[in-house]
Amino acid sequence: MIQLAENRYGKSRVRLMKVTRHPHGNDLLEWTVQVLLRGDFESAHLGGDNSKILATDTMKNTVYSVARNSSAKSMEEYAMELIDFLLGRNPQVSSAEVRIASTLWKRLTIDGKPHPDSFMRGSGELQTTLVEKSQGGTFKIVSGLEDLVVLKTAKSGFEGYIQESLTTLKETSDRLFGTAIKAEWLYDAEGFDYEAVRSTIRETMLKTFAEHDSKSVQQTLYAMGESALNTVSEISEIKLAMPNKHCLLVDLSRFGQDNPNEIFVPIDEPRGYIEARIVRQA
């Protein structure tokens, strides 16, 4: 017998730009929102009965309407408002999740002063949050960032690994270490200053990345997660994924030239991939 085991649906890539207008200038936010619902949708799947289906187009409208009324100070709080709105109006929905990715915009500096209403797109780094709640439950909040691309040109080596018949990599005590950090941290509870926590975690991880005397991506990744947990008490675990974006030293000896770790070829593929979840134990 064939059965529907699990299902969810919603709207993804709902783009929202919000301008907040103050007397002396404007603030700018750009978010990409995804809403997903689980619930009692078996009749739609098996019978084509849409009577319990909230159209994904309506979810899109809801994103904009709730944003207009929102006084949330963070993505996390807005996501909670949106979820409560959806759960409150849709008893057939058993749980809702909202994922938001925030694009970086930086205020322009003109003649040395911050401009009141003009902005420049920042790097490709995204600030993210994934908030979930079941009917009658509590919020699970996982915030993070991704595509934070960093590179250190000193204090990174890779030595002492397994030597076997398929090993061709040369050991080095001095290599470039480039990565695109993806981090997700789990909040213990709700009601925090999410923006402040985010900023602290980000700075702490960058400081550890820069200062760490790296023996491997694994070791530096762990040190970054450890420093985040040590610095921020509001989170109980952090998951980090750090691809190794390799930069290959060019062999110039073929041309009678030396290459004292100066000329490299950055490559996009293949890439190492390292991930770990680091937790605070009671």
**Residues between 105 and 124 that touch a copy of itself (CB under 8 A):** 105, 108, 110-111, 115-124
We find the least distance from the C-beta atom of residue 212 to a copy of itself, in angstroms, to be 10
Sequence-distant (≥ 6) Cβ neighbours of residue 89 within 8 angstroms:
none
Write b or e for each residue in 137-173: b if 16 or more Cβ atoms lie within 10 A of its Cβ, otherwise e.
Answer: eebebbbbbbebebebeeebebeeeeeeeeeeeeeee
Which position among 73, 196, 199, 267 is part of the footprint of a copy of itself (CB under 8 A)?
267
Tell me if 263 contacts a copy of itself by CB under 8 A.
yes
Give the residue with the Cβ less far from a copy of itself, 113 or 136. 113
CB-nearer residue toward a copy of itself: 120 or 191: 120
Q: What is the smallest separation between the CB atom of 201 and a copy of itself, expressed in angstroms?
A: 14
Interface of this chain with a copy of itself, residues 24 to 83, rule: CB under 8 A: 26, 28, 30, 34, 36, 41, 44-58, 60-62, 64-65, 67-69
DSSP letter at 270 equals S
Contact 100, 33 (CB under 8 A): yes
String of contacts with a copy of itself for each residue 189-208, x by CB under 8 A: -----------------xx-
Of the candidates 171, 276, 145, the one whose C-alpha atom is nearest the C-alpha of residue 217 is 276
When the beta carbons of 136 and 269 are compared against a copy of itself, the nearer one is: 269
Applying CB under 8 A, among 23, 71, 136, 281 the residue interacting with a copy of itself is: 281
Other Cβ atoms within 10 Å of 268 Cβ, number: 8
- Identify the DSSP state of 196: H
* Residues 87/131, Cβ–Cβ less than 8 Å: no
| Catalytic positions | 11, 56, 246
Q: Which is nearer to a copy of itself, 64 or 191 (CB)?
A: 64
- Residues in 169-188 at the binding interface with a copy of itself, rule: CB under 8 A: 169, 176
CA angle 209, 195, 191 (to 5 degrees): 125
